[in-house]
Structure 1
Amino acid sequence: MTTGGVFEVQGVPSGGVNTDMLPPSRVDDLAVVEVSYADATVTLSWTALGDDFDQGGPAHYVEIRYGRHFGQLADDFHGASSVNHSQVLQGSLTSPPEPGSAQTIVILLPDRGDNVTFVFAVRMCDEANNCGDPSNIVSANLEFIPEPVYVNDTITWVIVGCALGVVIVLAAILAWFCFRKARRSKPTESTQAASGRDNTAYTV
């Protein structure tokens, strides 16, 4: 803000200076908080703005539009589909909170599945239907993603321990059989002595 000095106001509306000519500011922090494939919903959140830019009381209502492609909202915001009250499962389009507060709305979407993506943009308007510029554009994918499967670590270690135990037991049994076989194939001392006495070259 700065001092204007001496100036003259021209083109004052017929209703006088009390006519509301200032729209709410542009929402610039729209974000997708959560997406539910099971419920076909998306949760949007942004910072609520004032009636006049970011000042005054809360804006009168919020307009949310969505499409399937970024260009639909970037090039023609007014031509995109508008979220109606029947699609709002949580939150309100007509009761924005105080300026600076977080506003959250859960929206029911008409479609879900493979390669189903929606883009969203919002703008806030006052009681005189002065509306701010469309917000930043966000996207939400409603493709089914399976839940991750978590394996119990205790069960995993028990299975690994049992497998190692079986391997150790089998190795011990194999070693024992090899040892017995080696002993059977080795001649004893008595056998060696008898072989010597049977030899014709043996002398006392």
Structure 2
Amino acid sequence: MNATTPLTALQVMQDSPMIPVIVLNDVAHAVPLARAFLAGGIRMLEVTLRTPQALACIEAIAREVPEAVVGAGTVRSKADAKAAANAGARFAVSPGYTGAVGQACRDASLPLLPGVASSSDIMMATEDGFTELKFFPAVQAGGVGMLKAWSGPFFDVKFCPTGGVTLQNAPNFLALSNVVCVGGSWLVPANVQELGDWGRVTRLAMEIQILRK
């Protein structure tokens, strides 16, 4: 897979047991962090659009670490989707779903993992053709029990639970037939970026690989 290979949402989900949710406040941290994840076996990197530096960080990773597959998280609008694509993002993740965001991602050729928290959300997303979804906030919205309940009526939908997922409870989610991967921020502990402790990120990423089904 190279930087020009088109992706599907399912391919993004299948690459690793986990998609890290990354908040970057300093562009200087983007490239070493991406390389640390690669060293630990994780290529799909969700950089959230929660800081003024996020787009520049996506651009830096796309340019300097082409072996990684950088995506944009917290995509909430058409403008977010367009800006993410222009920065070099190769997939998008949203906290919720609207038809406008879905169409904007299609227009920008960005595979989208739309966020859903209810059966109505799932029906809206699948009606627009999205069958790989982010369950968010997973634990707060019903967790494993909710996903088990959805496996009947939404038998053709695959999920990436995110929100409250930890190394301890991730195996419970990954054991479900309708879960492909999980998302979480624990691979980037609060002080790692300030300390430049990239080796810790690599070690945590390697731990995740044992969670493979």
The question of a shared fold, defined as TM-score above 0.5 by the shorter chain, is answered with no
Higher strand proportion (structure 1 or 2): 1
Which structure's CA Rg is the greater one? 1
Q: TM-score, normalised by structure 2?
A: 0.21
Higher helix proportion (structure 1 or 2): 2
Q: TM-score, normalised by structure 1?
A: 0.22
